[in-house]
Amino acid sequence: WDDRWEEFSVVAEQGVQLQNQLAALVDADTAAFNRIMDAYGLPKASEEQKSKRYQAIQDATRHAIEIPMQVARLSAQAMGIAQKMADVGNPNSITDAGVGAMAIRTGVKGALLNARVNLADLADEAYGDAIRMECQALWSSIEIAEANVLSRVDAVLSAE
């Protein structure tokens, strides 16, 4: 496999880029949650304060939906790496591609659940509907992608 080092290095670099982006989103997710908590802590004694507090909650909630959606989208991109490694990688490492696919699927689904839980507090129904549709599409597509990788893994293992 030494002759394919360069090819696999390119794929590895794609994975590292996704990993770095996802790691940054961990802190962004924590900050988004804190922003919601801060918004709920705003004063609400007057109508003006109530209005500002409500808008802050809505803005923070939308942001707290977008962060896990970014996680889901980026994680879904990683499935392409698992598929490529299942298709052309070293057969002795095929199970790594399968385990990676399962982990990626879990990451995508977990992020989608985290986005969806915040939809209950969002007043923007059009945005909420668009996010729900995207969640359904990502949920379905990641299951199919995982099944494709695992099918390839099984085929390689069965051929041994």
Cβ–Cβ under 8 Å, residues 156 and 94: yes
In whole numbers, what is the pLDDT of the chain averaged over residues?
95
Model confidence at 147, in pLDDT bands (50, 70, 90)? very high
What is the mean pLDDT of the segment spanning 10-35? Answer: 95
What percent of the chain is modeled with pLDDT above 90? 89
CA distance 97 to 95: 5
Cβ–Cβ under 8 Å, residues 96 and 150: no
Among candidates 64, 68, 56, 71, which has minimal Cα distance to 21?
71
What is the mean pLDDT of the segment spanning 85-100? Answer: 93
* pTM, full prediction: 0.91
Angle, in degrees to the nearest 10, between helices 125-159 and 47-88: 20
The tokens of 76 are what? 């879904």
Model confidence at 1, in pLDDT bands (50, 70, 90)? low
**CA atoms in the 13 A half-sphere facing the CB of 72:** 26
What are the helix (H) ranges across the chain?
A: 5-40, 47-88, 94-119, 125-159
